[in-house]
Amino acid sequence: MVNHGTVSNKKIDPLSNSLMAIQSHSERLATEMFVMGKYILLLFVPYHLTWDYSFNEIPPVGWFDYKVILSVLVCVGLIVYALLKLKDKNIFSFCILYFFITISVTSNFIVPIGSVMSERFLFVPSLGFCIALVYLFNKLLKIDASGKLRQNYIVLYTVSGVLIFLYLLKTIDREKDWKDNIALFEAGIKDAPNSARTHQALGNEYAKVARNTTDAKTRADLFKHGIDELKFGLNIYQPGYLGWYNLGAAYFDAGYLKEGEDASRKALVYDPNFAPAYYNIGTALAQRKQFREAIGSLVKATELDSNYTDAFSNTAAVYTALHEYKNAAPYFKRCCLLKPESKEYYDRMIRNNNAMMRDSLLEKPNAVR
């Protein structure tokens, strides 16, 4: 039997972008404005940084929320100022327009993307903020190329040094969160506690570490922590079929076959065509020696994914356990076609063919003289 593992999601859905869960267009637009305000605030105060803002870290908000109103006032004010000063070739006008144009691509205003918000989306737009900040200091302190007003240079260097020092401290503090996946995901839970994905990511990572742990007690503890986090994430967002699938995988590998089967069946409620869930159910049934019941789920997995080698392999194994070698033969053949470099599949196919020939001879004892 094969380790269940986890599967990653590549589709845009409410789990990744909570805007997709908002039915009201007006409320969705208000939430997008709220996110824009958070982006601007992060430029000035990069605090409570997190790798994930997915469902439901940014819940829906309405137009009468004071944060939305403030965000609208700031954004409209900046854009109006930029447009009025554009004809004067004003530096601030350029910086403001640069910021809004570059961030518009990932703002969800133009087209929905795979995330409601992400700090990495500020990398390019923040250049406009940096240029504006330096230019503002020069204007306030009347800095020019002549070298006059030496005391103003001292103020500029002092303010710049303090800002650099503060940002450096934040960078050093944040760096420890990126030590490894466990540290990153634990930091995500601290700074984004309402995100389903932060809890699920930590749960998957605990389960992953547990699978490679040999000490029985440590392994059991890791699986328990992982299962608890996966369940917590599902309490925030239940419709995610991957969340249920990964919970089932953790249960299976921790030795809780019935709980794993139940979680996998729950995944099929939200995606009836998810082949790995059928595979896990069939594998769990086979491990409990319920071979006839296992066949249906395993065959379904092969029908949904014709390149699912593990599903073909386990289907063949279950048919072999039932001594139905003729039924197992096409599944072994498919394994060899999918993994022609695998000696194991060829050996198993040969043994199955030999058993099939033996049964054929036993059924017809007079066929050979």
Residue 9 lies in a domain: no
Q: Which of 75-79's residues contact partners 24+ apart within 8 Å by CB, and which partners?
A: 75/33, 75/36, 75/37, 75/40, 75/100
Is the domain of 261 the same as that of 299?
Answer: no
- How does pLDDT run across 52-82, given as a tens digit for each residue? 999 999 999 999 999 999 999 999 999 999 9
**Percent of the chain with pLDDT strictly greater than 70:** 93
Q: What residue type is 142 in one-letter code?
A: K
Is the domain of 93 the same as that of 167?
Answer: no
Q: Which region among 11-15, 172-176, 341-345 has the lowest average model confidence (pLDDT)?
A: 11-15
Q: Which of 153-158's residues contact partners 24+ apart within 8 Å by CB, and which partners?
A: none
Which token pair is 365? 């004892």
Q: Among residues 91, 120, 140, which one ends one of the domains?
A: 140
Q: Among residues 158, 178, 198, which one ends one of the domains?
A: 178
Residue 195 lies in a domain: yes
Contact 131, 91 (CB under 8 A): yes
Residue 86 lies in a domain: yes
- How does pLDDT run across 290-338, given as a tens digit for each residue? 999 999 999 999 999 999 999 999 999 999 999 999 999 999 999 999 9
Taking 90 as the threshold, does the pLDDT of residue 3 lie above it? no
Averaged pLDDT of the chain: 91
- How does pLDDT run across 116-156, given as a tens digit for each residue? 999 999 999 999 999 999 889 888 877 665 656 667 778 87
Question: pTM of the entire structure?
Answer: 0.84
pLDDT for 244: 97
Is the domain of 117 the same as that of 36?
Answer: yes
Is the domain of 261 the same as that of 295?
Answer: no
Number of domains in the chain: 4
Residue 277 lies in a domain: no
Is the domain of 257 the same as that of 318?
Answer: no
Nearest to 316 by CA among 284, 282, 357, 342: 282
Is the domain of 262 the same as that of 228?
Answer: yes
Contact 301, 278 (CB under 8 A): yes
Q: What is the DSSP string of 102-153?
A: HHHTTSSSSS--S-S--GGGGTTTHHHHHHHHHHHHHHHHT--TT---HHHH
pLDDT for 147: 56
Site of tokens 């967002």: 237
Residue 8 lies in a domain: no
Is the domain of 174 the same as that of 188?
Answer: no
Is the domain of 335 the same as that of 369?
Answer: yes
Site of tokens 């700090």: 119
Is the domain of 49 the same as that of 133?
Answer: yes
Is the domain of 198 the same as that of 116?
Answer: no
Nearest to 12 by CA among 116, 121, 119, 113: 113
Residue 43 lies in a domain: yes
pLDDT for 38: 96
pLDDT for 1: 41
- Domain that includes residue 54, residue range: 18-140
Residue 163 lies in a domain: yes
Q: Among residues 127, 153, 178, which one ends one of the domains?
A: 178
Q: Coil, strand or helix: which one is 221?
A: helix
- How does pLDDT run across 4-30, given as a tens digit for each residue? 445 444 457 888 899 999 999 999 999
Is the domain of 30 the same as that of 127?
Answer: yes
Is the domain of 29 the same as that of 135?
Answer: yes
Identify the CATH number of the domain in which residue 257 sits: 1.25.40.10
Give dist(CA 12, CA 31) in Å, integer.
18
Residue 294 lies in a domain: yes
